Amino acid sequence: MSLTDTEGESVAMANHRLLKALRREQVDRTPIWIMRQAGRYLPEYRALRQRAGSFLTLCKTPELACEITLQPVQRFALDAAILFSDILTIPDAMGLGLSFAEGEGPCFERPLRSRADIERLRVPDPASDLSYVLDTVKLVRAALGERLPLIGFSGSPWTLAAYMVEGRGGTNFSRIKGMTFDAPKDLHQLLGLLAKSVIAYLSAQRASGAQALMIFDTWGGILSEHGYREFSLAYMKMIVEALRSGEEAASAPLILFTKGGGNWLEAMADSGCDALGLDWTVDIGRARSRVGHRCALQGNMDPAVLGARPERIREEVALLLQQYGYGSGHVFNLGHGITPEIDPAKVAAVVDAVHELSEAYHR
């Protein structure tokens, strides 16, 4: 049986370390990938970016986005590729006009300023409005073959809404928070539309070949617990339920990550997702005992550790593996994205340390 026919492909891939760990099945070693592993800390990324021009050109040109997605997995023994894209592709497809000013983060030309602005929005059709993302997914899958799984992703409805209402990053979120208090109906209308959009978008990524999916809730952590449940978690739960109800449900595990959400892990696990992403402020062993067998855990080394000496990095990897303890269900990662100034040799040190030191926990 050839590895390239459909059945062979799914069997080989289903046995991959990352997907097994996300399903909490036994693995030989703890799998590792790194948030923003395709990015500015890599000289080959910076070279391509310089030739191509803007960050958005890279995202929107499938051949380039594919090449960038593959860069880190060509260099390091990582256990997954993650789609090179941005969390704000959906609002961009809705017509808000995304751009990135150098060193300033994302900015929308037409942020939402009124009820009428919200009423004008439509759920984007991934096949037409976000075809560049799906084309990238297909190219990456063709290039990776059986070697590694590909993780697709989206921003969470709350996080997308926060950017769409604030217009840019770096604010104190007074507009979007104001809506939670004084215009909750309008906000719920927006969040409902975004949840539908994320469901269509992640389903399309999965249909195009993504084998695991992650929801980045970058700004859920700015809310109170009751605000988080009402305005962020409720909509992520909707997405989890919709993605689990289809035929392909079992084929792509779903990871939820709320930065700053360490207080709410039990509630997040109740959503029915397969895995929780953890930032570095959470003790992963304690998180495991709180969440029990309901979810795998992904994380959660402080990205700042990558600035340390290699021996110190190795110590921190050892500590984190020990905190998680014996058995499957751990996907090693940082607690947030890798930063641009990091020496790529440090990433190699982490990957090697994780693979080497984790074997003892899976015997």
| Minimum CB–partner distance for residue 25 and a second copy (Å) | 28
For residue 141, indicate whether it is catalytic: no
Q: Which of 43, 178, 325, 327 binds a second copy (CB under 8 A)?
A: 178
CB-nearer residue toward a second copy: 29 or 336 = 336
115 binds a second copy (CB under 8 A): no
322 binds a second copy (CB under 8 A): no
| Minimum CB–partner distance for residue 257 and a second copy (Å) | 16
270 binds a second copy (CB under 8 A): no
# of chain residues touching a second copy (CB under 8 A): 35
337 binds a second copy (CB under 8 A): no
| Minimum CB–partner distance for residue 181 and a second copy (Å) | 4
Catalytic residue among 29, 49, 206, 314: 49
CB-nearer residue toward a second copy: 120 or 309 = 309
CB-nearer residue toward a second copy: 145 or 178 = 178
171 binds a second copy (CB under 8 A): no
Let me know if 311 is exposed, middle or buried by CB neighbors in 10 A (0-12, 13-18, 19+): exposed
Q: Would the CA dihedral through 242, 246, 248, 249 be positive or negative? A: positive
| 273 touches 306 (CB < 8 A) | no
| Minimum CB–partner distance for residue 320 and a second copy (Å) | 9
Catalytic residue among 36, 141, 294, 314: 36
226 binds a second copy (CB under 8 A): yes
Q: Smallest Cα–Cα separation from 332: which of 277, 262, 290, 271?
A: 277
340 binds a second copy (CB under 8 A): no
44 binds a second copy (CB under 8 A): no
CA distance 164 to 27: 41
263 binds a second copy (CB under 8 A): yes
51 binds a second copy (CB under 8 A): no
For residue 115, indicate whether it is catalytic: no
Q: Smallest Cα–Cα separation from 31: which of 44, 39, 46, 20?
A: 20
| Near a second copy in 274-313, by CB under 8 A | 280-283, 286, 302, 304-305, 307-309, 312
For residue 40, indicate whether it is catalytic: yes
| Minimum CB–partner distance for residue 223 and a second copy (Å) | 7
Interface residues with a second copy (CB under 8 A)? 172-174, 177-178, 181-182, 221-228, 260, 262-263, 280-283, 286, 302, 304-305, 307-309, 312, 316, 319, 335, 339, 341
Active site residue ranges: 36, 40, 49, 86, 163
